[in-house]
Amino acid sequence: MTRVVVLDPQHPDPARIREVATVLRDGGLVAFPTETVYGLGAHALNATAVARIFEAKGRPPTDPMIVHLASIDQIDLVAQAVTPAARELAAAFWPGALTLILEKRPIVPGAVTAGLPTVGIRVPSHPIAHALLAAADVPVAAPSANRFSHPSPTRAEHVLSDLDGLVDIVIDGGATPIGVESTILDLTVTPPLVRRPGSVSLEAIRDIVPDVRSVSVTVDRARAQPAPGQLLRHYAPRATLTLYVGKVDQVAERMARDVRTAAASGLRAGVLAPEEDLLALAPRLAALGASGRVVTMRCGSRGDREEAARELFRSLRALDAEAVDVILASAPDGEGINAAILDRLTRAAEGRVVRT
């Protein structure tokens, strides 16, 4: 049985937090909100508890997990050879949406790191995550709280729809404020490498680590990935997704034609796009007589990419619930959070990207 505990995201009740923290300390599985997405937490130094995460998620044991800490002061508990640059980054971005990959200490079970000699560490800023980690007073291994390869959960209902009955507690703290997973920065390679873009931008990291590089999902897709969680097929809805990247009018023009083609072959189509794109698409669909044959889902606007990030996984899940066969998704090119959105959609598209 999964228990749902509803908590105020700003001021979680300390007594309830203590209760949930005890379950976590004793080896239970607890899903909780962070500022990025919901995580599925277990006592990171308890290999049996960690094994339960893999079981619940249907996650391959080759996929390493992020260890969450209450405070920057605990970094030396799980990592060693922590460089001055790592400490400077931690001081600048923690608590927050940056995961640092460092050399692990032997105390961290191999199950957490998929046998790697390194460990991903993050100090989340969400008041519920922070309070829970502080009360549990142990490092907490937590992947995103979705079934393996499903879109990450940004609300408690997403966690329940994937994991009800498989975890002990789900804390419902409302929608997560960022909506895409943390930036992953690998400091164990030279030069340092951003393995997953997130809300902490490459540009912001460059201020501290001038030689930082970033993996490009499209360039690297054919190569074996060192971190299997970065496989191209990820964040995937059930429907076949194609990503359109370009200016509003060109994207709308191309999408309208492709929607008509899909409808003509009997496929149910969904469009996931910023507000501006939907406005440009509507008259074109009408002109082609294809208006009634598509489900449209707004995903933020071109002018507000933070909103688009917050809405991304929810809108992918909502389109899946509409039982569409194909999804045509649009996103503009760009840096910062835009790079994170493009990365997730490119993975969901498994490389089907149309540049107009």
Q: Which is nearer to Mg ion, 154 or 296 (CB)?
A: 154
Q: Least CB distance from residue 101 to Mg ion, whole Å?
A: 15
Q: Judged by CB under 5 A, which of 144, 214, 296, 338 binds Mg ion?
A: 144
Site for ligand TXA in 202-261 (CB under 6 A): 227, 229-230
- Distance, in Å, from the CA atom of 214 to the CA atom of 198, rounded to the nearest integer, reads 11
The Cα 341–Cα 315 span in angstroms is 13
Pick the binder of ligand TXA from 20, 65, 187, 329 (CB under 6 A).
Answer: 65
Mask: binding to ligand TXA, 8-47, rule CB under 6 A, as x and -? --------------------------x-xx-x--------
Under 8 Å between Cβ of 305 and 247 = no
Least Å from the CB of residue 317 to ligand TXA: 16
| Residue 114 near residue 61, CB atoms below 8 Å | yes
Q: How far apart are CA 264 and CA 274, in angstroms?
A: 25
Contact partner, 101, from Mg ion, ligand TXA, none, Cβ < 5-8 Å per class: ligand TXA
Q: In the window 134-153, what residues touch ligand TXA (CB under 6 A)?
A: 142-144
Q: Find the helix or strand (DSSP H, E) in which 145 lies.
A: none
In whole angstroms, how close is the CB of 260 to ligand TXA at the nearest point? 37
Q: Does 154 bind Mg ion (CB under 5 A)?
A: no
Point out which span in 56-64, 142-150, 205-213, 264-272 binds Mg ion (CB under 5 A).
142-150
CB of 65 to ligand TXA, least distance (A): 5
How many residues of this chain interact with ligand TXA, rule: CB under 6 A? 26
Closest-by-Cβ residue to ligand TXA is 229
Distance CA 342, CA 322 (A): 23
Cα distance between residue 196 and residue 280, in whole Å: 31
Tokens 């933020």 appear where? 300
Q: Smallest distance, Å, CB 145 to ligand TXA?
A: 7
Dihedral through CA 122, CA 127, CA 130, CA 131, nearest 10? -170
Are the beta carbons of 50 and 112 closer than 8 angstroms?
yes
Task: Give yes or no for residue 119 binding ligand TXA (CB under 6 A).
Answer: yes
Q: How far apart are CA 341 and CA 197, in angstroms?
A: 9
Give min distance, CB of 140 to ligand TXA, in A: 10
36 binds Mg ion (CB under 5 A): no
Stretch that binds Mg ion, among 84-92, 136-144, 161-169, 258-266 (CB under 5 A): 136-144
Q: 9: closest CA among 38, 29, 48, 30?
A: 38
- List the Cα angle 245/153/44 in 5-degree steps: 120
- Spatial contact of 161 and 77, defined as CB atoms under 8 Å apart: no
Find which of Mg ion, ligand TXA, none residue 338 binds, CB within 5 to 8 Å per kind: none
Binding site residues, Mg ion, CB under 5 A: 144
